């Protein structure tokens, strides 16, 4: 996951270096957003959250023929649905850009370019839909390496578009890179899929298969939740497209910097936890799931809390290090670092949502997290309007308000999910989790003091030296303080490393 996030960050950096934070890259991100909305609505998180628990239940019962029939049926259904939706979107792409995606674009040439880029990227939604199903089947078999590398392959497509195709095709090269990256995302997982036990493809839609109907039942409420999330992304795109040039690119380049630690810290744990949670529920061992969920939350918070402070304090040199090259100027870096400040505040909330939502899916409950998520996204909708207006009124760059709204709504979403899950499992070892949070806060305070001292000492130095030096200083300080506070997870990590180095120890 870390490698995939680093490659993804390089891809976004190359896009910024090549095109700068201007109207051209704003237009690309607008078109790219629509393809991602289609994938997430029809075949993304909504389908995966319903598919993995149902598929895992077949594996636990050793009913592999039924498991593969379920996968085949869903793959065929996804293909038909995405072909239909993609064709309609291709035909009405101009209308979608003008009336749905970017109402803030008033230049007809920019509108036409957005529609053109959208048409190039549309097939990626179908490819990602199939790739998501393959990823879910591999995760259910406890195969995580190639699925975790798949996003890196997608980013390699971006890199190829920015480096190899851009000199000949301009911004079209980046759009074609997205399509190539989607094919690589699927392709890297196929070798692992064909090696799974008794894998078999069936030409069927499985409409009479109870498991297919169960996935549809579980997916329906989750689809509403995903729609609410995508609605908020659309709102951000619309609002940012009407703000000063570069605002849309600012939020689109800042978000990956927050999502990189979130993916390494929380998504990696959540992806591995869902099949485990699902198997525990299928065996009727909810007490084991309670302990696993509490341990996962505690470990994630021990990492997310210091990462939040690190991103906030290091946002300026980090953005300069990653993006400030080529045509990307220092003024444009300010746009990104401003958004990163407010996105970083939501890292803890995003991390908790990743873990707790999986526990609901494992319990075959997609309604509760969706209801909470829809409420949070409705709040995000209102806060986006309010904060953007407030920031503009007091003379701050308004796109920072969009990032703050996302962080505030996500934190409240996480709190509500934790409250409900605690009641569902008759407890969540809250005292143990809070003791871990307290130790993390104390260690983070010490780490932050070191970071502030380093930033004062290194003022005027190069962004690379400042950032790498800060990491080299803060990481051992944080870990050392956790050791002094006798944190259980540090000891467990050390024992795991020793066993890996010397299995007989």
For residue 164, what pLDDT is reported?
A: 87
The share of the chain scoring above pLDDT 70, in percent, equals 91
Average pLDDT over residues 480-505: 78
On whether the CB atoms of residues 304 and 348 are closer than 8 A, the answer is: yes
50: its two tokens? 């319903």
On whether the CB atoms of residues 145 and 123 are closer than 8 A, the answer is: no
pLDDT at 218 over 80: no
For residue 451, what pLDDT is reported?
A: 93
For residue 274, give the nearest of 432, 504, 45 by alpha carbon: 45
Angle formed at CA 90 by CA 88 and CA 91, multiple of 5 degrees: 65
Q: Report the chain's mean pLDDT, rounded to a whole number.
A: 84
Average pLDDT over residues 181-193: 91
For residue 148, give the nearest of 264, 47, 255, 259 by alpha carbon: 264
**Residue found under tokens 């989750």:** 222
For residue 39, what pLDDT is reported?
A: 65
| Ramachandran sector of residue 209 (left: φ over 0; alpha: ψ -120 to 50; beta: rest) | beta
Residue 290 Cα to chain centre, angstroms: 25
Q: DSSP string covering 307-341, please?
A: HHHHHHHHHHHHHHHHH-STT--HHHHHHHHHHHH
More confident residue, 482 or 140: 482
- Nearest-angstrom CA–CA distance, 201 and 69: 7
Average pLDDT over residues 456-471: 89
Residue 43 Cα to chain centre, angstroms: 15
For residue 46, what pLDDT is reported?
A: 59
Classify residue 440 as exposed, middle or buried by CB count within 10 Å of its CB (0-12, 13-18, 19+).
buried
Contacts of 424 (CB under 8 A, 6+ apart): 363
Average pLDDT over residues 322-332: 77
Which region among 224-228, 237-241, 255-259 has the lowest average model confidence (pLDDT)?
224-228
For residue 466, give the nearest of 446, 476, 477, 451 by alpha carbon: 451
Question: What phi, psi does 451 have (nearest 5°)?
Answer: -65, -45
- Nearest-angstrom CA–CA distance, 397 and 411: 23
68-77 pLDDT, tens digit per residue, is 898 898 889 8
Average pLDDT over residues 220-246: 70
| Helix ranges (DSSP H) in 425-462 | 430-457
On whether the CB atoms of residues 373 and 322 are closer than 8 A, the answer is: no
181: its two tokens? 């990256």
On whether the CB atoms of residues 30 and 241 are closer than 8 A, the answer is: yes
Instruction: Centre a 10 Å sphere on the Cβ of residue 483 and count the other Cβ atoms it contains.
Output: 13
Which region among 194-198, 222-226, 409-413, 423-427 has the lowest average model confidence (pLDDT)?
222-226
- Would you place residue 443 in the very low, low, confident or very high pLDDT band (cuts 50, 70, 90)? very high
Which region among 13-17, 284-288, 468-472 has the lowest average model confidence (pLDDT)?
13-17
More confident residue, 313 or 104: 313
pLDDT at 5 over 70: yes
For residue 330, what pLDDT is reported?
A: 80
On whether the CB atoms of residues 258 and 346 are closer than 8 A, the answer is: yes
For residue 78, what pLDDT is reported?
A: 85
Residue 491 Cα to chain centre, angstroms: 29
pLDDT at 105 over 70: no
- Nearest-angstrom CA–CA distance, 185 and 179: 10
411: its two tokens? 């934190």
Which region among 348-352, 370-374, 390-394 has the lowest average model confidence (pLDDT)?
370-374
Contacts of 208 (CB under 8 A, 6+ apart): none
**Contacts for 466-473 with beta carbons within 8 Å, 24 or more apart?**
466/314, 466/317, 467/314, 467/317, 467/318, 467/321, 470/310, 470/313, 470/314, 470/317, 471/310
- Helix (H) / strand (E) containing 411: helix 399-424
For residue 464, give the nearest of 275, 285, 322, 297 by alpha carbon: 322
pLDDT at 466 over 80: yes
158-174 pLDDT, tens digit per residue, is 888 888 888 888 888 88
Angle formed at CA 57 by CA 52 and CA 58, multiple of 5 degrees: 100
The pTM for the full model equals: 0.71
Distances (CA, A) of 345 to 293, 349, 441: 23, 8, 15
For residue 49, what pLDDT is reported?
A: 67
């Amino acid at each position: 996951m870390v490698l995939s996030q680093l490659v993804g960050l390089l891809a976004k950096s190359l896009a910024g270096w090549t095109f700068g934070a201007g109207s051209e890259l704003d237009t690309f991100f607008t078109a790219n957003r629509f393809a991602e909305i289609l994938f997430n609505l029809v075949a993304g998180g909504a389908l995966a959250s319903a598919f993995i628990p149902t598929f895992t239940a077949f594996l636990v019962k050793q009913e592999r023929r039924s498991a593969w029939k379920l996968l085949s049926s869903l793959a065929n259904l996804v293909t038909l649905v995405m072909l239909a939706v993609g064709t309609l979107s291709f035909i009405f792409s101009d209308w979608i850009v003008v009336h749905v995606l970017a109402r803030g674009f008033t230049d007809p040439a920019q509108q036409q370019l957005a529609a053109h880029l959208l048409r190039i990227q549309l097939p990626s939604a179908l490819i990602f839909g199939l790739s998501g199903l393959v990823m879910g089947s591999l995760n259910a078999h406890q195969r995580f390496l190639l699925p975790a590398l798949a996003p890196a392959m997608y980013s390699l497509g971006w890199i190829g578009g920015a480096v190899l195709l851009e000199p000949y095709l301009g911004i079209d090269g980046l759009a074609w890179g997205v399509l190539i990256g989607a094919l690589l995302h699927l392709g890297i997982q196929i070798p692992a899929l064909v090696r799974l036990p008794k894998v078999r493809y069936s030409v069927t839609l499985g409409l009479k298969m109870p498991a297919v109907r169960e996935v549809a039942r579980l997916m329906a409420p989750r689809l509403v939740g995903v729609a609410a999330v995508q609605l908020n992304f659309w709102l951000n795109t619309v609002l940012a497209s009407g703000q000063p040039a570069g605002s849309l690119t600012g939020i689109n380049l800042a978000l990956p910097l927050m999502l990189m630690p979130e993916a390494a810290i929380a998504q990696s744990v959540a992806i591995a936890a869902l099949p485990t949670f699902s198997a525990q529920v299928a065996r009727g061992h909810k007490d084991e799931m309670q302990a696993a969920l509490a341990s996962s939350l505690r470990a994630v918070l021990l990492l997310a809390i210091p990462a939040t402070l690190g991103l906030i304090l290091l946002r300026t040199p980090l953005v300069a290090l990653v993006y400030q090259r080529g045509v990307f100027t220092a003024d444009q870096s300010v746009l990104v670092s401003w958004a990163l400040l407010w996105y970083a505040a939501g890292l803890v909330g995003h991390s908790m949502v990743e873990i707790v939502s999986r526990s609901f899916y494992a319990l075959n409950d997609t309604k509760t997290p969706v209801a909470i998520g829809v409420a949070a996204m409705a709040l995000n909708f209102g806060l986006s309007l309010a904060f953007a207006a407030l920031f503009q009124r007091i003379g701050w760059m308004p796109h920072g308000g969009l990032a703050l709204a996302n962080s505030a709504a996500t934190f409240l979403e996480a709190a509500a999910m934790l409250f409900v899950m605690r009641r569902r499992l008759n407890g969540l070892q809250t005292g143990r989790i809070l003791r871990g949070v307290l130790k993390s806060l104390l260690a983070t305070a010490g780490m932050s003091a070191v970071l502030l001292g380093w930033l004062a000492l290194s003022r005027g130095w190069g962004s690379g030296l400042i950032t790498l030096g800060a990491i080299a200083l803060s990481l051992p300080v944080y870990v050392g303080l956790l050791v002094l506070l006798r944190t259980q997870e540090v000891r467990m990590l050390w024992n795991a490393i020793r066993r890996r180095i010397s299995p007989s120890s």
